[in-house]
Structure 1
Amino acid sequence: MRAWGNSQRHRTIAAIGLGVLLLTGCSATEPPKAKPWASAGPVWHSTYEAPAPTVIAPLTGETVQSDALDHPSIAAKIDNHPLARAQFGLNETDIVFEELVEGGMTRYVGVWHSTVPEILGPVRSIRPMDPDIISPLGGIVAYSGGQPGFVNMMQSAPVYNAIHGQADTATTFFRSPAKRAPHNVHVKAREVVAQHDDLKAPQQHFAFSLDIPSSTAAKDGTPTARVNLTFGSLGTPSWAWDAATGAWGRFMTGGATDTDNTGAQLTATNLVVLRVPVTVSADIPKTELIGSGEAWVSTGGATVHATWRKDSQTDTIKLVDDNGVTVRLAPGNSWVELVPTAGAVEFVAPAS
């Protein structure tokens, strides 16, 4: 009985083992099959792309792609005679310098780099202070000519002189039939810049904050609703703060809204007012910009008192507040108002 019992037990164990093998579908030595979910479903790939490297635009303080401004700036002597208005391209400038000229009027040095308009102008003749304004920019200067001594001064500066009536500007400067000479010389700005793309981009001109609220004037300045300027008898522009747009809006002598050729009001993120001595030779005023003096910076509806300094023709203008701390402008465009010491500056507080 024990022999039968052992044999029967062995047969039973063998039968159970065979059942297990049949249930698992593999032998003891067969490798396990791959699990069906291991290769099932979609294959996911990342769509992340590293953002393009950025830099700070040297004339506006705005953040841009590093290769977006890999070209020279173009400065131009812009006419501000009533017969020259409305001008082309002034609302696309990075910086505008306003200066006193003959007859108590003003003219502009407009500077374009972040945006270069298709057409700018009308351009007029160069003046003796312009080499000091334009030299720190390098790049290109466009103008209609001028007295030989002034032209020689400009041509001695480290910039490319693009002058109306010369062979190299025959296809890029033109007279508009819409205006009367001499207030009708315009420039195909993009074509001029493309012809000289081997020139370097400008150096940084001012210190900048991250935004308007963190700018020096907005943080530490006195609330300001309006800025009234007197250059001369026919040069009395003003600026009014517009909180809705976050910019200063410009008004001409007499109070009319100052506009560009599109009909849009001229605006500025920053107003930089410098009190400057002016010398006169043969009835030609010259703003003396090598030196230092009193300044104000207006941003974000407020104004801070400052001191300006420029040590040489190729140096940029430096601004420090009354504590000796560098003034930081907000990112955006700036108008630099070169008001004679014999002129006047008035800052009007908001109505209470």
Structure 2
Amino acid sequence: MAAQAGSAPRRRGARTTALVAAALLLAGCQSPPRADPAPTEVVVRPSSDSAASTVSFAPLRGTPADAAALAHPSLAVKIDNHEEARPQIALNRTDIVFEELVEGGLTRYVAIWHSDVPDEVGPVRSIRPMDPDIASPFGGIIAYSGGQDQFVAMMMATPLLNIVFDYDETGLFFRADERPGPHDVILESAEAVSRNAALAPPPVQFAYGTADPLAAPALAAVPTSRVDLVFSEGRFPAWEWDAAASVWLRSQEGSPDTEASGERVRATNIVTMRVAIDWRYGEVPKTVMIGSGEAWVSAGGRTAHGTWTKDAAGAPIILTADDGSPLRLAPGNTWVELVPSEGSATFTP
């Protein structure tokens, strides 16, 4: 897929606004990986003789939503998690976030927005070799700042529409003066979705249940007040259950994790997947996403054990409980923690 040559990016801050540079690289098209309609529509027939009504659900959250408001593609963005990139913008408005190991023992995020797309997100960073396997099931748009040629080529080969900072000429990216480089690239996310609104919405990725989806005795879920994860010596996030708010609150390396709004980063569901790491790319680790492994779902102050499976790059992740039933999530946003097999996951009652 052809790219045009470009020039330099603009900066925008409290006092300075400059022109954005370079050429637009829009590769791929909308080809949803599954034929599922999105958003999901359920016909509800009241007990009276009144006409049937239709209730729509956000495909990536499982929450009731207006179907017309969801008639647009999802936006996946590669988000920086270096200390100088924090606080990130609008993480609490995501539908799903994947945390992955990258070189140097650091982590980065593939964050997906669909039901609530903010005006701006970031900081945006470069692609890694596992990202095509993570993002492909969602269809729609993928935005990132660049990357090694081989990794960019891998992403370009997916059905996703690629928007790349290195080649943008339309002003969708800018550099924020108040942030240090290279942790300063911001995407005008709502505009990116608006310009590509004709692309298909994402298909459903996970199964959803009630606000307490792990209550069935057969799931053998255990009460959980805290989830501690170790990706490396330098990255050990944790989640604490806030029963009053019915959310998990995030910490990183022992300190509360906040986003740019000042709010603590939070999630309704934590999906922890034990994953292998492929070192074929030298110092750049590739999380192995196609296959199967151990999994835990933490929701409603409980954690249930099971397995994850993913059959192909474009296939969704399937979560199965130890008793063979589906591991369902609570309606709301989800963080997927891709913990290396050399790392650890601890669930405290």
State whether TM-score is above 0.5.
yes
| Alignment CA distance shift 1:158-1:171 (3 Å) | same
| Alignment CA distance shift 1:184-1:212 (3 Å) | same
| Alignment CA distance shift 1:339-1:194 (3 Å) | same
Runs (4+) of structure 1 exceeding 3 A deviation are 49-53, 217-220
1:226·1:241 contact (CA, 8 Å) conserved in 2? yes
> Which runs of structure 2 are paired with 1:1-352 in the superposition (5 Å)?
53-168=54-169, 170-209=170-209, 211-213=210-212, 215-216=213-214, 220=219, 221-253=221-253, 255-280=254-279, 281-349=281-349
Q: CA deviation at 1:51?
A: 9.8
Q: CA deviation at 1:63?
A: 1.1
Q: CA deviation at 1:52?
A: 7.3
Distance in 2, Cα, partners of 1:107 & 1:234: 13
**2:255 counterpart letter in structure 1:** A
Distance in 1, Cα, partners of 2:63 & 2:214: 16
1:218·1:301 contact (CA, 8 Å) conserved in 2? no
Distance in 1, Cα, partners of 2:216 & 2:149: 44
Max Rg structure: 1
Distance in 2, Cα, partners of 1:205 & 1:191: 25
Residue by residue, what CA displacement relative to the aligned partner does 1:306-340 show, whole Å, maximum 9, x if unpaired? 10000000000000100110111010000000000
CA-atom RMSD in angstroms: 1.5
Residue by residue, what CA displacement relative to the aligned partner does 1:15-56 show, whole Å, maximum 9, x if unpaired? xxxxxxxxxxxxxxxxxxxxxxxxxxxxxxxxxx98973212
**1:103 counterpart letter in structure 2:** G
Runs (5+) with no aligned partner, structure 2 = 1-49
| Alignment CA distance shift 1:177-1:110 (3 Å) | same
Runs (5+) with no aligned partner, structure 1 = 1-48
**1:312 counterpart letter in structure 2:** A
1:52·1:66 contact (CA, 8 Å) conserved in 2? no
Q: CA deviation at 1:198?
A: 1.2
Distance in 2, Cα, partners of 1:327 & 1:345: 18
Residue by residue, what CA displacement relative to the aligned partner does 1:233-259 show, whole Å, maximum 9, x if unpaired? 111000000001100000011x11000
Distance in 2, Cα, partners of 1:167 & 1:336: 30
Q: How many residues align?
A: 297
Residue by residue, what CA displacement relative to the aligned partner does 1:276-295 show, whole Å, maximum 9, x if unpaired? 00011220000000000000
Distance in 1, Cα, partners of 2:336 & 2:216: 18
Q: Which has the higher helix share?
A: 1
Q: CA deviation at 1:67?
A: 1.4
Identify which of structures 1 and 2 has the higher relative contact order when contacts are C-alpha pairs closer than 8 Å and 6+ apart.
2
| Alignment CA distance shift 1:348-1:52 (3 Å) | same
Q: Find the residue that maps to 2:293 and give its secondary structure.
A: strand
2:106·2:235 contact (CA, 8 Å) conserved in 1? yes
How does the TM-score come out when normalised to structure 2? 0.83
What percent of counterpart residues are identical?
Answer: 50
**2:120 counterpart letter in structure 1:** I
Distance in 2, Cα, partners of 1:329 & 1:137: 18
Residue by residue, what CA displacement relative to the aligned partner does 1:118-169 show, whole Å, maximum 9, x if unpaired? 100000000000000000000001100000000000010110000003245x
How does the TM-score come out when normalised to structure 1? 0.82
Distance in 1, Cα, partners of 2:66 & 2:186: 30
**1:187 counterpart letter in structure 2:** L
